[in-house]
């Protein structure tokens, strides 16, 4: 491999300055220069903002870096005259790299992803976004010293259990200074001390220093939290601020009203709901009693600000790959959403960056005191529903405490794409998001990594292989060579039940038995499918299910519907509709929904003394079976849309040809010109029914899409999709 001589810039103390030269690119050199954004000389206000990534902010789908999903925020600050820098830690051994080691499990190494006062003292504001690793007592002391010197910290959290790297910590816990669990393992001692839940709203690092704590709730209110306090009571920060969306977030609880006060609350007319993945009640009290969504604190010479969700100030331009699996990240386009917090975020930074001599919100000279949250620690917040475990299982081989296990092009990974990698098999590992048809696989070059969706139609070479047929053309097939540990489950001779199943095969395009084939298979999985109504009826009560069926009629006025089996209409089940679902899915309110095919997620239960589904978390229209088919003659072709400018509303019809970006999008192609393609970004409510990854039988189907012409994944596409209709 030819490697150019690299000159790496790394700041001593703040991870940015000090020059070192290396003749060869070694591990961790690929992205060693931390970004800096500088205003024009005429616009420079002389102040600096650091965005921290030393303790997280880039875990899982999070990408809170100034040249990634916080780039719009950073750019807005540059327009205000700020210099904006990414803070990574301290280069303690002066080798041009800042390395992270877990202080508890790798004690022989030196952890450089740390916060010290000397490293951050030259900034005016320090932004901590979704911090996913606890602070040492020394780091807490450094932040206290920073505040005492008259500086400001912006704490950006998220809902409880936003444990992005599955290390059992989320930002609400890290900022509060204690885990939600009281298990003995969280009395860590050493550099950390006791991080067990104190079960008191008055205890913990955050409340002791700033008079406020983050709640362990999980709330949704995308319509916009509208209880914006008047600017005369908020140091002017809420001037020009509109209601702000909450896309699964937390609130805070104020304990000391002279230290902290709220900026934005749920108003009496707001109707927030429990986030559907919340681990407990999710929403404890509602209204102002739930505590502020955004708040500020004045503690001595310094200042702090807080918000319970990153969504309204992030953008849709992540830079890094996921650390655990190398997949592309997805972030919420909050900065441009109607419920954005861009005005609030900039106002907060301006306030934090301005030193002021008053010490507290004591009501003097217009510095109004805050409103004490009536129950600052709910009973639910005193115990851990996860019992000290992460919310999910880490990917195989991934260790959140060991950066050597991070995938290429993820933050802190040893290597970027195209650099030396000690992996003996350097070919990129394909993911199900790149799933292609059998016909596409046949056209792929030899030794190309592929993920193929098809139907098992025969055993090949006895127990050693199988035939995979194209979902849309059974005569088109490819041979798959099975590894020894795969034959029992996937060879039709050993397991006849696998015949006619749709499966996803991950391997390399090659020949097998003198025919086009797939070899070196690393993974086989049965393609996801939905439960029928008949199967749902046989499911035990209390089970979470996903089922599909046809709307037969309404039930109990506007409150429910009857779903019938697609293959046998004698099987029916009652679906209880949530209040937010009735306008669209109640046949009494919307007769057009009759005969539509729906995909429903919920809990098997009884309703109206009959078998039913309750706690319905999502309903998606899979097909209207022609009952609602509008005039196709007015639809645009893919070619028509490709010729249009971004930002224009479109109604386009084409053929579904592939999954894009895992389950998050699909490829739509002109039937008469397969080279003309659009990427269709699916909204969260649409993926279960329309993602080809989840529904491989959709490949080859015709689809009508209503949305806005816009690029997706750097490819011409349609976003903000309001409606999808299958045409065959």
Mean pLDDT of 334-339: 90
How far apart (Å, rounded) are the C-alpha atoms in residues 666 and 657?
8
Give Cβ neighbours of residue 238 (< 8 Å, ≥ 6 apart).
228, 229, 230, 231, 263, 264, 344, 347
Structure tokens, 96: 């041009």
| Topology, domain 632-726 | OB fold (Dihydrolipoamide Acetyltransferase, E2P) (2.40.50)
Q: Does domain 26-382 have CATH number 3.20.20.70?
A: no
Beta strands at 477-481 and 515-526: parallel, antiparallel or unpaired: parallel
Q: Which residues of 329-350 are buried (b: 16+ CB within 10 A; e: fewer)?
A: bbbbbbbebebbbbbbbbbbbb
* Residue boundaries of the structural domains of the chain: 26-382, 432-526, 533-623, 632-726
Structure tokens, 529: 């499918």
pLDDT at 253: 98
Q: Residue 443 pLDDT more than 80?
A: yes
What would the pLDDT profile of 475-486 be if each residue is shown by its tens digit?
899 999 999 889
Compare 244 and 599 and report the one with higher pLDDT.
Answer: 244
Mean pLDDT of 277-300: 94
What would the pLDDT profile of 201-234 be if each residue is shown by its tens digit?
999 999 999 999 999 999 999 899 999 999 999 9
pLDDT at 288: 97
Compare 43 and 627 and report the one with higher pLDDT.
Answer: 43
Which helix (DSSP H) or strand (DSSP E) does residue 119 occupy? Answer: helix 117-120
Token pair 């306030």 is found at 351
Q: Which of 50-54, 234-238, 288-292, 669-673 has the lowest mean pLDDT?
A: 669-673
Is residue 667 a contact partner of residue 676, using CB atoms and an 8 Å limit?
no
CB count within 10 Å of CB 521 equals 17
Mean pLDDT of 97-124: 81
pLDDT at 632: 34
Predicted confidence band of residue 98 (pLDDT cuts 50, 70, 90) = confident
Q: What percent of the chain has pLDDT over 70?
A: 90
Structure tokens, 3: 């490697």
Two domains, one topology: 432-526 and 533-623: yes
Q: Residue 192 pLDDT more than 80?
A: yes
Q: Which of 14-18, 81-85, 265-269, 637-641 has the lowest mean pLDDT?
A: 14-18
Give Cβ neighbours of residue 570 (< 8 Å, ≥ 6 apart).
none
Is residue 271 a contact partner of residue 225, using CB atoms and an 8 Å limit?
no
- For residue 632, the SS3 value is helix
pLDDT at 18: 28
3-state helix, strand, coil in the chain (%, to 5): 15, 30, 50
Q: Which of 134, 88, 173 is nearest to 384 (CA)?
A: 173
Predicted confidence band of residue 105 (pLDDT cuts 50, 70, 90) = low
Is residue 566 a contact partner of residue 532, using CB atoms and an 8 Å limit?
yes
Residue 682 region, left (φ>0) first, then alpha (ψ -120 to 50), else beta?
beta
In the 8-state DSSP scheme, what is residue 249?
A: E
pLDDT at 697: 86
Query: To the nearest whole number, what is the mean pLDDT of the chain?
Result: 86
- Class of CATH domain 533-623: mainly beta
Q: Residue 185 pLDDT more than 50?
A: yes
Mean pLDDT of 304-330: 91
Q: Which of 480, 483, 487, 484 is nearest to 456 (CA)?
A: 480
pLDDT at 12: 24
Q: What does the CA dihedral 63, 67, 71, 75 come to, rounded to 10 degrees? A: 160
What would the pLDDT profile of 347-395 be if each residue is shown by its tens digit?
999 999 999 999 999 998 899 999 999 999 999 999 998 888 877 667 7
Q: What percent of the chain has pLDDT over 90?
A: 53
Token pair 């807005």 is found at 76
Mean pLDDT of 554-583: 90
Give Cβ neighbours of residue 381 (< 8 Å, ≥ 6 apart).
180, 215, 216
How far apart (Å, rounded) are the C-alpha atoms in residues 177 and 77?
29
pLDDT at 13: 28
Q: What does the CA dihedral 109, 115, 117, 121 come to, rounded to 10 degrees? A: 130
Mean pLDDT of 140-154: 97
| Topology, domain 432-526 | OB fold (Dihydrolipoamide Acetyltransferase, E2P) (2.40.50)
């Amino acid at each position: 491999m030819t490697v150019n001589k690299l000159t790496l810039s790394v700041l001593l103390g703040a991870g940015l300055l000090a020059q070192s030269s290396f003749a060869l690119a070694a591990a961790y050199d690929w992205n060693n220069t931390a970004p800096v954004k500088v205003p024009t000389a005429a616009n420079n206000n002389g102040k600096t903002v650091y965005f921290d990534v030393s303790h997280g902010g880039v875990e899982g789908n999070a990408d809170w870096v100034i040249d990634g999903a916080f780039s719009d925020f950073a750019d807005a600050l540059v327009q205000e005259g700020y210099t904006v820098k990414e803070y990574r830690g301290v280069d303690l051994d002066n080798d041009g790299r800042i390395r992270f080691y877990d202080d508890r499990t790798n004690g022989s190494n030196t952890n450089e992803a740390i916060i010290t006062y000397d490293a951050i003292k030259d900034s005016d504001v320090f932004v901590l976004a979704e911090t996913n690793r606890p602070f040492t007592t020394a780091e807490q002391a450094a932040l206290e010293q920073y505040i005492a010197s008259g500086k400001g910290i912006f704490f950006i959290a998220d809902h409880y259990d936003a444990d992005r790297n599955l290390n059992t910590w989320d930002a609400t816990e890290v900022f509060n200074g204690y885990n939600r669990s009281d298990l003995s393992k969280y009395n860590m001692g050493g550099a950390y001390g006791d991080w067990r839940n104190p079960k008191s709203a008055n205890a913990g690092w955050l409340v002791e220093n700033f008079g406020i704590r983050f709640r362990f709730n999980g709330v949704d209110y995308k319509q916009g939290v509208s209880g914006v306090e008047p600017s005369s009571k908020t140091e002017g920060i809420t001037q020009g601020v509109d209601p702000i969306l909450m896309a699964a977030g937390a609130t805070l609880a104020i304990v000391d009203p002279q230290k902290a006060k709220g900026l934005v609350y749920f108003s009496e007319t707001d109707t927030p709901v429990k986030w559907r993945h919340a681990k407990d009640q999710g929403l404890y009290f509602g209204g102002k009693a739930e505590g502020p969504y955004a708040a500020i604190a004045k503690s001595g010479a310094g200042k702090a600000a807080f918000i319970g969700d990153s969504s309204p100030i992030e953008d849709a331009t992540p830079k890094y790959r996921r650390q655990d699996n190398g997949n592309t990240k997805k972030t919420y386009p909050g900065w441009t959403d109607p419920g954005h917090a861009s005005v609030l975020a900039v106002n907060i930074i301006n306030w934090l960056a301005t030193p002021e001599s008053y010490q507290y919100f004591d009501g003097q000279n217009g510095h109004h005191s805050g409103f004490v949250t009536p129950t600052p620690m709910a009973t639910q917040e005193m115990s851990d529903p996860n019992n000290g475990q992460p919310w999910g299982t880490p990917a195989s081989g991934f260790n959140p405490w060991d950066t050597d296990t991070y995938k290429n092009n993820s933050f802190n990974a040893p290597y970027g794409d195209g650099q030396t990698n000690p992996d003996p098999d350097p070919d990129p590992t394909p993911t199900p998001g790149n799933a292609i048809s059998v016909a596409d696989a046949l056209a792929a070059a030899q030794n190309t990594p592929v993920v193929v969706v098809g139907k098992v139609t025969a055993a090949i070479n006895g127990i050693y292989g199988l035939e995979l047929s194209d979902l849309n053309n059974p005569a088109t097939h490819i041979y798959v060579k099975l590894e020894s540990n795969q034959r029992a489950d996937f060879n039709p001779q050993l397991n006849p039940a696998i015949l006619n199943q749709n499966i996803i095969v991950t391997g390399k395009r090659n020949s097998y038995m003198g025919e086009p084939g797939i070899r070196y298979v690393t993974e086989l999985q049965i393609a996801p499918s939905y439960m029928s109504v008949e199967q749902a009826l046989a499911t035990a009560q209390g089970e979470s299910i996903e089922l599909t069926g046809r709307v037969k009629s309404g039930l109990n006025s506007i409150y429910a519907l009857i779903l019938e089996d697609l293959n046998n209409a004698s099987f029916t089940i009652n679906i209880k509709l949530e209040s937010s679902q009735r306008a669209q899915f109640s046949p009494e309110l919307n007769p057009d929904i009759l005969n539509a095919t729906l995909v429903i997620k919920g809990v098997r239960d009884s309703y109206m003394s009959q078998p039913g589904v309750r706690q319905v978390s999502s309903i998606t229209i899979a097909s209207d079976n022609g009952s609602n088919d509008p005039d196709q003659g007015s639809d645009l072709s893919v070619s028509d849309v490709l010729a249009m400018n971004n930002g224009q509303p479109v109604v386009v019809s084409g053929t579904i040809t592939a999954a894009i970006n895992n389950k998050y999008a699909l490829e739509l192609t002109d039937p008469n010109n397969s080279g003309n393609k659009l990427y269709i970004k699916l909204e969260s409510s649409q993926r279960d029914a329309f993602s080809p990854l989840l529904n491989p039988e959709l490949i080859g189907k015709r689809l009508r899409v209503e949305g806005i012409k816009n690029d997706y994944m750097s490819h011409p596409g349609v976003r903000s999709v309001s409606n999808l209709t299958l045409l065959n």
